[in-house]
A and B are shown apart, each in its own frame.
Chain A
Amino acid sequence: MNLLDWLVLLGAVVGVAGYGTWRTRHTDNLNTYLKGNSTTKWGTIGLSVMATQASTITYLSLPGQATENGIAFIQNYFGLPLALIVVCAVFLPIYRKLGVYTAYEYLGQRFDRKTRLLGAGIFVFQRGLQAGITIYAPAIILSTVLGWRLDLTIICTGLLAIVYTVTGGSAAVNLTQKWQMGVIFGGMLSAFVILLTKLPADALPIAGALGKLQAVDYNPDLKVRYTVWSGVLGGFFLSLSYFGTDQSQVQRYIGGARLREGRLGLMFNALLKIPMQLFIVILGALLFVFYQFQPHAPVVYNQTQWQRQLKGPEAANFRALEEKYTVLHDQKQEKIRAWAAAQNAHNPAVTAEARRDMLAAQSAADAVRKEARTALQAADPTTKKTKDSDFVFIHFILTQLPHGIIGLLLAVMFASALSSKAGELNALGTTSTIDLWRTFRPLSAHDEARNVRTAKAFTAFWGLFAIAFALFVSFAENLIEALNIVASIFYPALLGVFVVAFFLKHVKGTAVFWAAVAAQTVVIAIFFVGKAYPAREIGYLWLNPIGCFTCVIFAVILQGALPQNDSKAA
């Protein structure tokens, strides 16, 4: 990085945060602080919803995942447009009609206090931990590559998000997210265009022949993680939980001048989310082709740690692996060129044989890469905390892009971390104030200035908690994976509660509360049975419909069995 990169990075990241802080510094109205400006238009809401969902992992890890495993992950988003239609048609009008600040406030009005606290508690527990991961995950990769201190990267990113989120609340989050999305779109598009200029003409056929372009899979096997079926059905329930019941999203579209603005903002996402994610995974697949034609393609992309090992006590072993890979990589390059020539000559028999040779060469090269990763993890256990594929895109950015654009792409990474973190903190502060603090301190409910101060204090608390947690995570291996699993386990029962609330009017609080507890137990049991007996394990997306349906069915059964005078609204 040179001075130009630093200027672009700081200008884009600190500039946007500073602008958001300054513009919203006088936000002292509770409604504006928690819901954003009442004049917010659909474009801002749409970008805000998109920015909250897409964290740095989307832009940093997804291209790497596509480089490694192809673009099948896109199917994960197939349920999203359908879920957003349901949120627009059912969830949003009710939230707007009741004028609630949080989704869980609605549960209190529809059921009772314990169900509201259950919903708010699940959200705060899960999202509070995720807020730490939102900072930690990009920080460990960027600090490794750029040579920055991990703790300082975490603290600086976290504090920056806290400053403007605490100052302006939802108004600041919406405003900054709009500009941050501008930085993200500009940066990703620049990287894509530059990558295209470096590719051979037949890049797409090569990526396809090497198995990177299978976008859809109609295989009905439940054990296959990403298929059209798991994407549409499992993805639908996952997206419905996330957009309909997770306060970090509800808060983005619940405000706005009119109901129309929130609806159009969500429809904007329903139309553009899949194309946007497709753009990112295609970028990853093309990165794969790019590296096939590099004379010195890295054996592992985490080059900082690899170069360190080349100077360490096991240097000879690492150098031997590197040389072995270089030979196999050159052979693979020849096979790819032979396949492309056969393809252009329209000779099916020769093409098929060339393709077999090419795939065999790829397998041989992949085996050495795997060997190299294992050796690196054995020599430096800290590398187990990241996947090597996470470093593919950042390696391309730092080695292939011109100065200025490098700064812009790093700004993309920080802008996405800040935008998703700000959305989370804003929602955590709001839920803590409205559903927890105000529930137990009802006399304070009408003191608006005090409520704003409390919301600011809770937002700051969650921001500091996230920083502390992110610093702690760096000492605990595999915690990120564990937390992602926790998140996918807790959503379905919560969605079941909302489905009952919206569609089963005769079911009351006690029945749905215990149904949610039972459904949660079932989901956890299925998950652990799958872990104990891997042959019976199902793709995690399927936990979403299972948990939701279980909650709904249990609620109906319990309602029939329980006395009918149980409900007290909160």
Chain B
Amino acid sequence: MKTSSNPPPPPEEAPGVPGFRTWLGVYLFVLAAFIVVVLVLTLFTRTYA
């Protein structure tokens, strides 16, 4: 088999998570959670270190 490019992307499947209709929404939520964690840790460092 010879392939010079990636296969076509598979059809998007709904995440099936309450409150999220697309995977992009899930990724943005995870990204936002990460930013919150970093901010909380920054605050934590300023409070205690």
Chain A contacts of B49 at CB under 8 A? Answer: 208, 211, 213-215
In the complex, residue of chain A having the shortest beta-carbon distance to the beta carbon of B16? A260
In the complex, residue of chain B having the shortest beta-carbon distance to the beta carbon of A217? B45
Chain B contacts of A505 at CB under 8 A? Answer: 4-6
- The answer to whether A402 has its CB under 8 Å from any CB of chain B is no
Chain A contacts of B30 at CB under 8 A? Answer: 81, 84-85, 267, 270-271
A264 adjacent to B42 (CB under 8 Å)? no
In the complex, residue of chain B having the shortest beta-carbon distance to the beta carbon of A93? B10
In the complex, residue of chain B having the shortest beta-carbon distance to the beta carbon of A208? B48
- Nearest Cβ in chain A — how far from B11, in angstroms? 10
- The answer to whether A109 has its CB under 8 Å from any CB of chain B is yes
The listed residue (B3, B34, B44) touching A274 by CB distance below 8 A is B34
Which range contains the number of B residues in contact with the other chain? 20 to 34
A89 adjacent to B45 (CB under 8 Å)? no
- The answer to whether B7 has its CB under 8 Å from any CB of chain A is yes
- The answer to whether A82 has its CB under 8 Å from any CB of chain B is yes
In the complex, residue of chain B having the shortest beta-carbon distance to the beta carbon of A503? B6
In the complex, residue of chain B having the shortest beta-carbon distance to the beta carbon of A259? B13
Count of A-B contacts judged by CB separation below 8 Å? 89
- Partner-contacting stretch, out of A94-102, A184-192, A377-385, A411-419: A94-102
- Nearest Cβ in chain B — how far from A271, in angstroms? 6
Decide if the interface of chain A is mainly helix, strand, loop or mixed.
helix
The listed residue (B3, B15, B34, B48) touching A207 by CB distance below 8 A is B48
B7 adjacent to A89 (CB under 8 Å)? no
A263 adjacent to B42 (CB under 8 Å)? no
B48 adjacent to A258 (CB under 8 Å)? no
Q: What is the CA–CA distance of A568 and B3 in the complex, to the nearest angstrom?
A: 8
B4 adjacent to A567 (CB under 8 Å)? yes
Which range contains the number of A residues in contact with the other chain? 35 or more
A94 adjacent to B33 (CB under 8 Å)? no
The listed residue (B17, B26, B27, B41) touching A74 by CB distance below 8 A is B41
The listed residue (B2, B10, B38) touching A78 by CB distance below 8 A is B38
Q: Max chain A CB contacts within 10 Å: which of B7, B38, B48?
A: B48
Chain B contacts of A98 at CB under 8 A? Answer: 7
In the complex, residue of chain B having the shortest beta-carbon distance to the beta carbon of A505? B5
A259-B10, A260-B15 known; A216 and B42 CB under 8 Å?
yes
In the complex, residue of chain A having the shortest beta-carbon distance to the beta carbon of B47? A208
- Nearest Cβ in chain B — how far from A560, in angstroms? 16
- The answer to whether B19 has its CB under 8 Å from any CB of chain A is no
B2 adjacent to A216 (CB under 8 Å)? no
- Nearest Cβ in chain B — how far from A512, in angstroms? 12
Q: What is the CA–CA distance of A70 and B34 in the complex, to the nearest angstrom?
A: 21
Chain B contacts of A96 at CB under 8 A? Answer: 10
CB within 8 Å of B: which A248-278 residues: 258-260, 263-264, 267, 270-271, 274-275, 278
Interface string of A536-570 (1 = CB under 8 A from B): 00000000000000000000000000000001110
A109 adjacent to B3 (CB under 8 Å)? yes
A215 adjacent to B27 (CB under 8 Å)? no
Q: What is the CA–CA distance of A160 and B27 in the complex, to the nearest angstrom?
A: 38
B34 adjacent to A258 (CB under 8 Å)? no
A267 adjacent to B26 (CB under 8 Å)? yes
Q: What is the CA–CA distance of A82 and B13 in the complex, to the nearest angstrom?
A: 21
Chain B contacts of A81 at CB under 8 A? Answer: 30-31, 33-34
Q: 9 tightest CB-CB pairs across the interface, nearest first?
A: A208-B48, A214-B49, A215-B41, A505-B5, A213-B48, A81-B34, A569-B2, A270-B30, A85-B27
- The 22 listed contacts between A and B (C-beta, < 8 Å) are A74-B41, A82-B34, A85-B30, A97-B9, A98-B7, A110-B3, A110-B6, A204-B48, A208-B47, A214-B49, A258-B13, A259-B10, A260-B13, A264-B17, A270-B34, A271-B30, A271-B33, A275-B37, A505-B4, A506-B4, A569-B2, A569-B3
Task: Please give the residue numbers on chain B whose beta carbons come within 8 Å of chain A beta carbons, in ascending order.
Answer: 1-7, 9-10, 13-17, 23, 26-27, 30-31, 33-34, 37-38, 41-42, 44-45, 47-49
